[in-house]
């Protein structure tokens, strides 16, 4: 949480869209330890808002019912807001596959509404949360998030950063977030069911919620207009992850291979090969600076980049691969896992 120290938070107001999700609550907890004046939680879920209100009982917290699909409801919540973390999205791959128009409304057009509301209300910074599924997208969720990134960078080409700085973060699977595989595996272990694995060789990045929040804070403090930030992260196979959990819980569950599901990749990419050719290296992070071609169409036809032919994308197959013991070490640090062990 060291990046908070560099933030100018006194007399400032932060709004988090989709603020009742896993990311939103982690942001909320970290920022309540600062001198920020107000944190606004913006979401559709009144039950989760009630739960958070009862849990924290903090006068600097305010809760706003609304939907990023509605510019009017955003504007009502955005008045007086200095900073926005835009986390609201439909994130479940099957839901987006079954209802693609709903995903477009929330993930893509909702992002434009958030940007428009920031401009109307003179908000100074917006950080969009994106996903590895936006790179080489093969499912609706990834396609809609890729378009949300494009909308943000398109606006960034025409907006003065002194008025509104737009940036984005892109990260892989967040361990124990809602709908992720670790809670499923733990549930199957505890209920003595078979652990269902799609493909044992499938790899996924491993990142904690705190690391995801730190990435957003890093972007907040360091972004140039339209820049996209990516955290370097280790990965493991799904088989290694299941084996680590079985070992932690001293379980005897059998593993059942069920095969890859529709819209599911063998590995996830955080940077495409094309993006890697111009990415900046910040030790623990990569960033993609804004490709400011403006409206010069000739650059799309007359200029190229020979480096693309010799560069790999950055994906969960070619990043640092963790052993079972290394995965166990990461898992044992997670509050969710500790809760079930206790």
Active site residues per annotation = 133
- Count H helices and E strands in the chain, helices first: 14, 15
Phi first, then psi, for residue 87 (nearest 5°) are -110, -10
Tally the residues of the chain.
342
> What whole-number distance in Å separates Cα of residue 314 and Cα of residue 136?
12
With residue 84 as reference, give the H or E element that holds it: strand 83-86
Q: Is 270 left (phi over 0), alpha (psi -120 to 50) or beta?
A: alpha
Rounded CA gap, 158 and 311, in Å? 30
Burial 38-72 (b: 16+ CB within 10 A, else e): bbbbbbbeeebbeebeeeeeeebbebbebbbeebe
Find, among 37, 12, 25, the residue nearest to 125 by Cα: 12
DSSP 294: T
Question: How far is Cα 98 from Cα 140, in angstroms, rounded to an integer?
Answer: 9
Cα(321)–Cα(82) distance, rounded to whole angstroms?
Answer: 40
Integer Cα distance of 133 and 139 in angstroms: 8
Query: For residues 53 and 79, is the Cβ–Cβ distance under 8 A?
Result: no
Segment holding 8, helix H or strand E: none
Return the closest-CA partner of residue 131 out of 105, 103, 168: 168
The strand pair at 235-237 and 203-205 is best described as antiparallel
């Amino acid at each position: 949480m060291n990046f908070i120290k560099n933030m100018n938070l006194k007399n400032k107001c932060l709004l988090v869209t989709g603020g009742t999700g896993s990311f939103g609550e982690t942001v909320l907890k970290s920022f309540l330890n600062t001198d920020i004046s107000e944190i606004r939680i913006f979401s559709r879920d009144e039950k989760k808002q009630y739960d958070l209100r009862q849990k924290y009982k903090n006068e600097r917290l305010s809760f706003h019912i609304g939907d990023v699909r509605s510019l009017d409801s955003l504007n009502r919540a955005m008045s007086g807001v200095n900073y926005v973390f835009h986390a609201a999205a439909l994130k479940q791959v099957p839901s987006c596959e079954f209802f693609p128009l709903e995903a477009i409304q929330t993930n893509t057009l909702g992002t434009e509404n958030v940007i428009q509301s920031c401009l109307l209300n003179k908000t100074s910074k917006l950080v969009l949360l994106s996903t590895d599924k936006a790179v080489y997208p093969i499912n609706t969720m990834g396609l809609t998030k890729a378009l949300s990134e494009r909308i943000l960078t398109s606006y960034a080409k025409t907006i003065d950063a002194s008025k509104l700085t737009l940036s984005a973060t892109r990260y892989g699977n967040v361990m124990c977030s809602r709908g992720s595989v670790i809670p499923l595996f733990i549930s199957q272990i505890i209920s003595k069911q078979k652990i269902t694995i799609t493909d044992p060789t499938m790899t996924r990045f491993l990142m904690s919620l705190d690391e995801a929040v730190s990435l957003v804070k890093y972007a907040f403090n360091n972004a140039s207009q339209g820049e996209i930030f990516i955290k370097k992260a280790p990965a493991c196979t799904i088989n290694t992850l299941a084996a680590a959990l079985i070992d932690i819980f001293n379980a005897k569950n059998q593993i059942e291979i069920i095969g890859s599901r529709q819209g599911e990749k063998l590995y996830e990419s955080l940077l495409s090969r094309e993006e890697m050719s111009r990415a900046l290296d910040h030790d623990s992070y990569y960033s993609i600076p804004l490709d400011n071609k403006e409206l010069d169409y000739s650059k799309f036809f007359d200029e190229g980049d020979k480096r693309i032919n010799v560069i790999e994308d950055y994906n969960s197959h070619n990043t640092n691969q963790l052993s079972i013991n290394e995965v166990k070490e990461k898992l044992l640090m997670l509050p969710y896992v500790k809760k079930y062990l206790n």
